[in-house]
Structure 1
Amino acid sequence: MRSADPRVVLGLHRSRHERRLLTGALELGVTALDTSTNYLGFRSHQILAQTAGDLLPKFTLSTKVGYFPGQNGGEHSLDPVRLHAAVEQAADDLGREPDLVFLHNPEHSLRAAAPHGRDMLAQACAVLADSATKGLCAAWGIASWDPSPLLDLIGPTAPKPSVLMVRAGLLAGAGTLDAADALVQAWDLGDRAVWGMSPFGGSTDAPMWARIDPRVFLRDDSRLSRVQAVFRTAYHLPRVDSVAVGTDDPAHLGELVDALAGEVEERTVHEYRRLLRDRSRSQPA
């Protein structure tokens, strides 16, 4: 059994939630598990408790609130009452309090809330902070697919999250990377409180991964595969301590754990980010 590495988080987005995946993760030393109230058709928590309730205490467990069952499959809401009820329900369904609860994609509702977005965000954050104080979760954070809208909505009196989760990797884009850096600085989080997600932009089988060789970002490009290089580089775009990655294949998860042995060439990452910014500025508004 490998030693635990907290930098790899097994994400359950699009996962079948099979028990063999969780036992395989533990054998690899992956002891962080991330899900959400809306995963698996809003059944993720119940299925986890039914199929692997005895394994859950062996993981640090994070989940997310913000999406609710509704028309066309689901709807987003930052209503404080609904958020508080969702945190309580998560603990009930999982059979344990989560170690971390994220406010899930708050920008989804905030875009339509102008000019009241700052107050709405502050109230939503206050609900999660209060939930942590009451013991419904150990800590809380914000998971944002597009963090740019949050920059102008951070009020001086709003609670500060313990963890920020954002898109990471070569496909994250200049706007996402710069917004993540700005939020980390504004909240004084530091690298260890920042998580990445979607390091492959949706799939390791995307055609672009066959057209480019991401090993150029590594100091020694002969040791790892292209998939491993993509994953390892994601820890530097933006700089994060943990990356949530989804798979139903323990062997694939093992390949990603092995990728952590690689070393990223910082100068190449800086140059890549400069090129991303230049390209972003040259595009028409």
Structure 2
Amino acid sequence: MRGPDPRVVLGLHRSRHERRLLTGALDLGVTALDTSTNYFGFRSHRILAGIADDLLPKFTVSTKVGYFPGHGGAEHSLDPLRLTSAVEDVAKDLGREPDLVFLHNPEQSLRETGPHHKEALAAACTALEDATEKGLCAAWGVASWDPSPLLSLVDVTVPRPSVLMVRAGLLVGAKTLDASDTLVDAWDLNRGEVWGMSAFGGSTSAPVWDKVDPRLFLQDVGWFSPVQAAFRTAYHLPRVASIAVGTDEPAHLRELLGALAGQVEERTVQEYRRLLRVRTRDHPV
């Protein structure tokens, strides 16, 4: 069965939050915007409302809650009351209700909840589910950098999110890829309900991209650049329908959009995942 067409989401992690980026994205047909309460020094929503209040209605906007200003930096919490309050603040600061609110890296707090991991996760998810029912957001999801700690916790007592966001791409390890797939199955999500992030492991200028040629994952290399090939392949590691990509340059966004025309060789992806598992087995961390 053919999956949904791949989609690009403009992510604002580490972004300078410039208006020209938003207008450039719209000009390219990118109409999904992803941010978080803690981006840009916990000011992302207010900055967006200040520089682009007229543009925001043209985007579907997703954001994240879970990190809060703390002494010496950010602190993470799964407290339902704090999460609900954070969702309420999103609408106030943005000047509109978000289309999607993610529970941001719940595994961060689960390390501190002792034997009550499942109850803490269920309560946090229920808080976002309730916020959705109250109209504070249109839908809710879970964004997880490391989904492994969640696997033993998800059952019928934990509400099902509308979207799961996980790391994607050639630099994601076998353990994380397999954990993502397991979590997708546990929540019975279809591919259209799974997003990827950090497709380049942080930067397209990292030394690793000078040492590998991701075009071997494409059926027809054609005119695709290695960066484009790596991005297109990320939709299959794991299988996701959308990828949030951070950039401050519309030209980079245009390049990545051009990659969507490529077709990935699924057999090569599966062999790559097999080799990753072998390496993990032979060289456990």
| Structure 1 residues 69-80: aligned runs within 5 Å | 69-80=69-80
Residue number in structure 2 paired with 1:135 = 135
C-alpha deviation, 1:154, in angstroms: 1.0
Segments of structure 2 that go 5 or more residues without pairing to the other structure are none
Across the aligned residues of Structure 1 and Structure 2, the Cα RMSD in angstroms comes to 1.0
| Structure 1 residues 244-259: aligned runs within 5 Å | 244-259=244-259
Count of aligned residue pairs for this structure pair? 281
> Does the residue aligned with 2:279 lie in a helix, a strand or coil?
helix
| Structure 1 residues 41-190: aligned runs within 5 Å | 41-190=41-190
Q: Residues 6 and 31 of structure 1 are in contact (CA less than 8 Å); yes or no, is this contact kept in structure 2?
A: no
Q: Distance in 1 between matches of 2:240 and 2:222?
A: 24
Give the share of equivalent positions with the same residue, in percent: 74
Segments of structure 1 that go 5 or more residues without pairing to the other structure are none
> Does the residue aligned with 1:243 lie in a helix, a strand or coil?
strand
Q: Residues 199 and 234 of structure 2 are in contact (CA less than 8 Å); yes or no, is this contact kept in structure 1?
A: yes
Q: Distance in 1 between matches of 2:94 and 2:23?
A: 17
Residue deviations 1:246-285 (CA, integer Å, cap 9, x gap): 0000000000001101010000000000001111111245
| Structure 1 residues 10-21: aligned runs within 5 Å | 10-21=10-21
Residue number in structure 2 paired with 1:8 = 8
Q: Which runs of 4+ in 1 moved over 3 A?
A: none
Q: Residues 195 and 240 of structure 1 are in contact (CA less than 8 Å); yes or no, is this contact kept in structure 2?
A: yes
Q: Distance in 1 between matches of 2:56 and 2:173?
A: 34
C-alpha deviation, 1:63, in angstroms: 0.1
C-alpha deviation, 1:222, in angstroms: 2.7
Residue deviations 1:109-165 (CA, integer Å, cap 9, x gap): 002223100000000000000000000000000000000000001132221000000
* TM-score in terms of structure 2 length: 0.97
Q: Residues 105 and 142 of structure 1 are in contact (CA less than 8 Å); yes or no, is this contact kept in structure 2?
A: yes
> Does the residue aligned with 2:215 lie in a helix, a strand or coil?
helix
Residue deviations 1:69-106 (CA, integer Å, cap 9, x gap): 01222100111110000000001000000000000000
Q: What amino acid sits opposite 1:160 in the alignment?
A: R
Q: Distance in 2 between matches of 1:155 and 1:275?
A: 31
Residue number in structure 1 paired with 2:224 = 224
Q: Distance in 2 between matches of 1:49 and 1:284?
A: 46
Residue number in structure 2 paired with 1:32 = 32
